[in-house]
Amino acid sequence: MSVWEKLTAVPREVVMTLVVLAMIIPAIRPLGLPILTGDMSRAWYNTVEQLPEGSVVLFDIGYGSGGYPSLGPGNIAAFHQMFEKNLKLVIMATALEGTMMYPLIMEEVKPEENYGAVYGEDYVFLGYIAGEQTAMAGVLGDLKSLVSTDYQGTPISQLPLLENINGADDFALVAYLTTAGGVAEGWVYQAYSQYNKPLLGGCLSMMTTSIKPYYDSGQLLGLMDGIKGAADLEFLTGHPGDAIVSSDILSFTQTLVLVFIAIGNISFWMTRKTKEEES
């Protein structure tokens, strides 16, 4: 049996074992394989980079545990960038489970330890505000009439960051990550259409086709496209995390599969050519 024939006869178990190893290795030890960042993710990153230090950002955690694997890594990367830029964050949740996602995110970002940020002065979490567009309109219209305390029950009057924040005019940027189409479009209607505020959005990849037109029209200045967008932002901010790991696994396994396909085709034609020459 020739070398080419042996290659075409490699047992399926060997191939599958190599593919599994290609998934396990990057998960244990991320390879940091280069990625091509998308225009929408770079636009998100550049928009934040251009904000003056001390600018106030309204950020909506509009997803729960089901959306965390796709949107959580991007949320973490986004907060890293914003705290590094010394921006002020007013964080809210239009998703009920957003209140459970918040501590997971902050545990990874560690704003006090990594950036010297002080709760109440540099960032505040308002908690879950029901009503989707009603909540958005309330926060942007008259925040203090809608919210009297933060998520921990501290009165708004005792939080220095919120002392001079009353509504849309006091936010330099609005950003959201969500798994809900109503929330994604709602922020466009309430923040951009109503107040012409600079707006960044993020959603699950399956939602991108319906949300991207807002980016194309300029209503969204940047769009984080699920786990791919999260990996882009991790790469751009220099804070690799779970999204980069997922990207490594995908890149490594797909490259290996392509190699197998190439070897299989070359072996098939070389074997066929050899048999034709012998006959």
> Model confidence over 65-82: pLDDT tens digits?
999 999 999 999 999 999
- Distance in angstroms (rounded) separating the CA atoms of residues 236 and 117: 22
Reading across the β-sheet that carries 88-93, which strands appear in turn?
Answer: 123-128, 88-93, 56-62, 173-178, 199-203, 222-225
pLDDT, tens digit, 9 for 90 and up, residues 86-137:
999 999 999 999 999 999 999 999 999 999 999 999 999 999 999 999 999 9
Q: Which long-range contacts (CB under 8 A, 24 or more apart) does 260-267 make?
A: 260/15, 263/7, 264/7, 264/8, 266/4, 267/4, 267/5, 267/7, 267/8
Residues 260 and 163 in one domain: no
Mean pLDDT for the stretch of residues 242-255: 66
Residues 136 and 154 in one domain: yes
Phi, psi angles (nearest 5°) of residue 96:
-55, -40
Instruction: Give the pLDDT band (50/70/90) at residue 250.
Output: low
Structural contact between residues 80 and 109, judged by C-beta atoms closer than 8 angstroms? yes
Residues 205 and 167 in one domain: yes
Q: Say which residue the tokens 């002065």 belong to.
A: 121
* 241 vs 95, more confident: 95
pLDDT, tens digit, 9 for 90 and up, residues 155-174:
999 999 999 999 999 999 99
- Distance in angstroms (rounded) separating the CA atoms of residues 251 and 259: 12
Structural contact between residues 135 and 187, judged by C-beta atoms closer than 8 angstroms? no
Helices and strands, number each (H, E), in the chain: 12, 6
Residues 26 and 61 in one domain: no
Residues 139 and 221 in one domain: yes
pLDDT > 70: percent of the chain: 83
- Distance in angstroms (rounded) separating the CA atoms of residues 41 and 59: 17
Residues 63 and 121 in one domain: yes
Boundaries of domain holding 257: 3-30+247-278
Instruction: Give the pLDDT band (50/70/90) at residue 148.
Output: very high
Residues 18 and 97 in one domain: no
- Indicate the average pLDDT of the chain: 89
Structural contact between residues 159 and 150, judged by C-beta atoms closer than 8 angstroms? yes
Residues 83 and 196 in one domain: yes
Residues 225 and 266 in one domain: no
- Distance in angstroms (rounded) separating the CA atoms of residues 97 and 190: 22
Residues 47 and 136 in one domain: yes
Return all residues near 245 (Cβ < 8 A) that are at least 6 apart: 26, 27, 30
Residue 30: is its pLDDT beyond 80? no
pLDDT, tens digit, 9 for 90 and up, residues 173-211:
999 999 999 999 999 999 999 999 999 999 999 999 999
Name which of 208, 185, 197 is nearest 41 in CA terms: 208
Looking at the structure of the chain, the number of domains it has is 2
- Distance in angstroms (rounded) separating the CA atoms of residues 161 and 124: 7
Residue 1: is its pLDDT beyond 60? no
Question: Where do runs of H (alpha helix) occur along 97-207?
Answer: 98-109, 111-115, 133-146, 181-187, 194-195
